[in-house]
Amino acid sequence: MPFLLAVSASHGQSGGDVNQRVESLLARMTLEEKIGQMSQSTSMNTPLSDAIRAEIRAGRWGSFLNAGSPGDRAEAQRIALHESRLGIPLLFGRDVIHGYHTVFPIPLGQASSWDPELVEQAARTAAAEASREGIRWVFTPMMDIARDPRWGRIAESLGEDPYLASKLAVAMVAGFQGKSLGDPASVAACAKHYAGYGAAEAGRDYNSTWIPEILLRSVYLKPFHAAADSGVATFMTAFNALNGVPSTGNRFLLHDILRDEWKYDGMVVSDYNAVLELIKHGFAANEADAARKAVNAGVDMEMVSTTFFDHLKELVASGQVDQRQIDDAVRRILRLKFRLGLFDREPPAPAAAEPTPQSLALAERVAAESAVLLKNRNHTLPLSGNAGSVAVIGPLADSAVDQMGTWNTDGRARDVRTPLAALRESLGAGRVHYAAGLKDSRDLSHDGFAAAVDAARRSDAALLFLGEEETLSGEARSRAFLDLPGAQNALADAVKSAGKPLIVVIMAGRPLTFHEVAGKADAVLWAWHNGSMGGPAIAKLLFGENVPSGKLPVTFPRTVGQVPIYYAHLSTGRPASESELGIPMGNPEKPTGYTSKYIDVDFTPEYPFGFGLSYTDFQYGNLSLSAPVMRAGGTIVVSADVANRGTREAREVVQFYIQDETASVCQPVRELKGFQAVVLKPGETRRVSFHLGSADLAFYNSRMELVTEPGKFHVWIAPDSTRGVEAEFELR
């Protein structure tokens, strides 16, 4: 009979209660059972094999990844609880990256909403759906700072800025974990990938990263620190080597910072096969060496590969791994299982989690707030609902799978509403002239162009849906060129020749370079890969039922040659000036002046961080400070008027930036320190205020000390990272 600990409601049990139960159980475990808890497998398939049943009874596995059906998971959990010696439950994990069956926009798209509350609601919905099918651990949020759009996993990121990414990551954690991990509808979140993965050299996935410690602490670690402070249940190591030491064997990251500095008591899991890959990195000599280095660095659970189970027993016996290291890892694993209430209730009956009207309505709202209006010449948008007809053209207009985007593991095409379907429903099929033009985003054939041009000529406006397929972004989907793939540029030329207003909607998983297409378009709406309800969201934006309010969470380059490009850069000793703008792209001018620029393209981005237009006009003015001087430990209030000078009620994301004018370590030309969304009626003006404390001015000096230094600071309240109303104050 299994040893079952006393059952009690886990929702309200104290940390002391959990720790007592953990210690009681740990004292009864064999070394083999402990190492089993430190092992996660992908080998549980449908139906459960006799071999897997036997391994569960023997305590061979502590967790399963992407395992079976809801019924299989329930049966496996029953075996673990009632047929294993100690009755230790299994933990089922899955990549629930941006929704479960209800698919929300990709995380980079959600970041464009700049709406932490909305992002939290999306995560809460995903948690409810996943947990209903037995998933209690999700490998998200990914909070790698990403400043290189060649890297495919930028789609999973929350953008380039540590402040915005931190706020949204904490919101996601709150949504997934709820008020209590013991709630059956809550799941354990996972802060990944720790750390520096988004800075992969040349934007090539899994590649090495070289990040000076001062930059690591100032930028790349900030979202992880915020997530740790917010109580995220787990961390995942990164695939990359950081400064020559793979993250999965990096004791500086996993022990010195995470455990000692941040006092994090949650569980750390490796990424998929990352322990075994220490050998390929040239960091470990063999599997036993890989297991030793990963455990001693601070990895608690090994994902997929089996070096822990195969070698830790002998490593403990030889003294190469301390028994206390094993016990600490298992404590953290068991503590999580107790906090999730897995010991204290029977496995739920198998159940399917279908999207609901409420979840789909939320998905549509997130998709609407995530869309960014990049261009709107002569107020082309919104289109009039009384307009005669529209042409719907392009390979992304009616592709349910591509609309869901990368890592749509449990999304289903039958639940997706595409733009074509939504426009036909809202306008009537007779007013929508559809021609795909291209079979997919990579199609080089022009065979469909004639039908596309004919559809445009028969319509009052042409809606051209371009971008990249879902398979072109995400993990292992790095791109050396960021142009629209296939013959999409040529398709845009052909449709433009019809002479009708051209509205381009781009659905993609990363920033792309589309300068020529944007020049031909009358309006450009950037929609990302926007999930189950992206179609209705786009349709309502195009026809003015909703007003675009998204702001870019990442800088868009003019050309791939500018990468990496991001707003919070340092100044050089010879900064370029606006007087040097106007260089035709790709056409070198006669070099003039010795400043930090290009001779064949402007040094500025195509679209800056924080940028996004509206159907109304917002005006910023009358900035004031509560005091011209801030004392150490003090606070000042920075305020400005934001006025709606247009004709539409709309939401505006108001951004707050600072610059430390002079410091012992050079500081960025601007840093985001706050943002607020306001909804203003036509003619309405609102005073928007930000509180800035001296702690917000702190930075890491050359000795890795977090310090504030006296001096002058600039502040901006702004619509994006390049504009705004400005003032300065002094810190004494």
- The candidate with the shortest Cα–Cα distance to 141, out of 110, 181, 101, 179, is 110
**CA 436 to each of CA 441, 466, 495: distance values in angstroms, whole numbers, following the listed order:** 10, 10, 12
Q: Spot the catalytic one: 72, 271, 344, 410.
A: 271
Q: How far apart are CA 640 and CA 686, in angstroms?
A: 8
The size of the chain, in residues, is 732
Q: How far apart are CA 168 and CA 104, in angstroms?
A: 15
Q: How far apart are CA 529 and CA 535, in angstroms?
A: 11
Q: How far apart are CA 450 and CA 442, in angstroms?
A: 18
144 belongs to the catalytic site: no
Q: How far apart are CA 599 and CA 601, in angstroms?
A: 6
**CA 225 to each of CA 50, 116, 692: distance values in angstroms, whole numbers, following the listed order:** 43, 17, 20
| Whether the Cβ atoms of residue 90 and residue 77 lie closer than 8 Å to each other | yes
| Whether the Cβ atoms of residue 612 and residue 556 lie closer than 8 Å to each other | no
Secondary structure tally for the chain: helices H, strands E: 20, 26
**CA 478 to each of CA 154, 203, 535, 729: distance values in angstroms, whole numbers, following the listed order:** 10, 7, 27, 43
Q: How far apart are CA 41 and CA 273, in angstroms?
A: 10
Q: How far is CA 268 from the centre of its chain?
A: 20
CB atoms within 10 A of CB 322: 13
- The candidate with the shortest Cα–Cα distance to 482, out of 408, 554, 376, is 554
Residue type at position 612? G
Instruction: Tell me if residue 475 falls in helix, strand or coil.
Output: coil
Q: How far apart are CA 165 and CA 449, in angstroms?
A: 41
Q: How far is CA 339 from the centre of its chain?
A: 26
Instruction: Burial-class residue 86 by CB neighbours within 10 Å (0-12, 13-18, 19+).
Output: middle
| Whether the Cβ atoms of residue 64 and residue 93 lie closer than 8 Å to each other | yes
CA dihedral 6, 11, 15, 19 (to 10 degrees): 30
Contacts of 701 (CB under 8 A, 6+ apart): 664, 665, 707
Q: How far apart are CA 691 and CA 634, in angstroms?
A: 10
Q: How far apart are CA 164 and CA 671, in angstroms?
A: 11
Residue 15: what are its φ and ψ, rounded to 5°?
A: -60, -35
Q: What is the DSSP string of 179-218?
A: S-TTSTT--B-EEEEETTGGG-GGG-TT--B---HHHIII
CA dihedral 327, 333, 337, 339 (to 10 degrees): 90
Beta strand extents in 599-663 (DSSP E only):
618-625, 629-630, 635-644, 650-660
Catalytic residue numbers read 271
